[in-house]
Amino acid sequence: MLVHKCAFEIPELLLECGRRLKNVRVGYETYGELNEARDNAILICHYFTGSSHAAGRYKESDPEPGYWESLIGPGKAIDTDRFFVLSVDSLCNLNSKHPQVITTGPRSIDPSTGRPYGASFPVVTIGDFVEVQMRLCSSLGLPQLYAVAGPSMGALQALEWTARYPEFVGRAICAISAGLKLEPYLIAQLNTWCAPIRLDPNFKNGNYADDEEPREGLAQALKLVTLDALHPTGIRRLFARRWADREKNPLQALDHFYSVENALEQTATDRAKFADANSFLRIARAVQLFSIEERKERLRARYLFLPASSDILMFPSYSENAVADLRKLGLEVESFTIEGDGGHLDGLNAIGQAADVVRKFLA
């Protein structure tokens, strides 16, 4: 499946914090066709470090397809022969330097100054992400969404949709979700993710130049994200207690590392290349702010939760609590656990396990 990125613009967006953002521009991808009744749209929302590239390839030579390729496509669980699938780059997307990401964030030009927002970019919320998506739905003339789905931060957006526009969304698929609100433990964990950025001498309270970024702090932040999204058993299969360099015994010097340390460092450094530190801090805050608990009474969608058994970032118990809470409200809620040892990432890499359940849920 070959796909391409489109751009969508909003002249002005009133944010939840009260500020107005001008010339908002985000990327999106679509898979499948909108039917005549325009009632076959499914919206996919992406995770913290993700983008709208949920399925397909931009060109045949792309080494990897979109992140939910095993779920989305012709004849698949989210069947593009039947559904019109829509996926949107979030406002303030982390990977604002990625050539295939279109977003408005701290690196965008503030029309009122002609210079990048940088530290002056406002706090954004999961609700703001949803508002951008809603504007896009309106511009496409969608009277409703058949379903909204996403993993991790994507699940927060799916839940937010069902609280904010209960008449508009029929079904929500919440993979590896944090539940109906961010746990205090997760709020604290996001704080620890942000700490290396704030510590980096280049950070300068967010007022850094493009060529003097807090690159090292951002890499260390992404190191924490990467490790927290994995699981010891999966890591054990990949790494023994090997040294990174067989000539450099970790017993002899502090800068002699184990191979797992070097691999993690390398992954984090690679991930940092397309990412922006100011954006990272704002997405972390958006996640911290998430809660639909005080709006529970408004909910009326059907829900499918897909926790991963080895997830030690967004524990299966978070989903179980959400399932119990929603059932108490008399809502129809299903749940299926992805088994594996890949941790939180099983919500991406092992999502294929849930294909039949998702297909039935969308029937």
Instruction: Choose the binding region for a copy of itself from 135-143, 151-159, 213-221, 331-339 (rule: CB under 8 A).
Output: 213-221
Q: Can you tell me the distance from the alpha carbon of 125 to that of 289, in angstroms, rounded to the nearest whole number? A: 7
140 touches a copy of itself (CB under 8 A): no
The runs of H, that is alpha helices, within 173-250 are 184-199, 215-228, 232-238
The Cα-based distances of 7 to 27, 57, 97, 115, 254 in angstroms read: 4, 17, 16, 22, 48
Q: According to CB under 8 A, which residues from 3 to 42 bind a copy of itself?
A: 16-17
Helices (H) and strands (E) in the chain, counts: 10, 12
Q: What is the rounded distance in angstroms from the CA atom of residue 230 to the CA atom of residue 98?
A: 24
Q: Does 266 bind a copy of itself (CB under 8 A)?
A: no
Does residue 152 have an active-site annotation? yes
Instruction: Report, in Å, the least distance between residue 235 CB and a copy of itself.
Output: 4
Distance of CA 353 to the CA centre of its chain: 20
Q: Does the annotation mark 311 as catalytic?
A: yes
Among 251, 297, 330, 363, binds a copy of itself (CB under 8 A): 251
Q: Is 106 in the site for a copy of itself (CB under 8 A)?
A: no
**Which positions from 271 through 290 interact with a copy of itself, judged by CB under 8 A?**
281-282, 285, 288-289
Q: Please choose, from the candidates 182, 184, 177, 150, the residue with its C-alpha nearest in 3D space to the C-alpha of residue 319.
A: 177
- For strands 84-88 and 6-14, give the pairing: unpaired
224 binds a copy of itself (CB under 8 A): yes
Is residue 330 helix, strand or coil?
Answer: coil
Sort strands 147-151 and 171-175 into parallel, antiparallel or unpaired.
parallel
Does 177 contact a copy of itself by CB under 8 A?
no
Of 30, 339, 337, 286, whose CA–CA distance to 174 is shortest?
A: 337
Place of tokens 């890591």: 235
Judged by beta carbon, residue 154 or residue 214, the one nearer a copy of itself is 214
Residues 128, 276, 311, 346: which is the catalytic one?
A: 311
- State how far the Cα of 232 lies from the Cα of 211, in Å rounded to an integer: 37
Q: Does 216 bind a copy of itself (CB under 8 A)?
A: yes
- Which of 149, 163, 230, 323 lies at the binding interface for a copy of itself (CB under 8 A)? 230
What does DSSP assign to residue 186?
A: H
What is the contact mask toward a copy of itself in residues 118 to 137, using x (rule: CB under 8 A)? -----x-x------------
Q: In this chain, which of 112, 240, 246, 330 binds a copy of itself, going by CB under 8 A?
A: 240
Residues of this chain that bind a copy of itself (CB under 8 A) = 16-17, 123, 125, 181-189, 191-192, 195-196, 199-201, 206, 216-217, 220, 223-224, 227, 230-233, 235-236, 238-241, 250-254, 257-258, 260-261, 264-265, 281-282, 285, 288-289, 291, 312, 315, 317-318
Which residues are marked as active site? 152, 311, 344
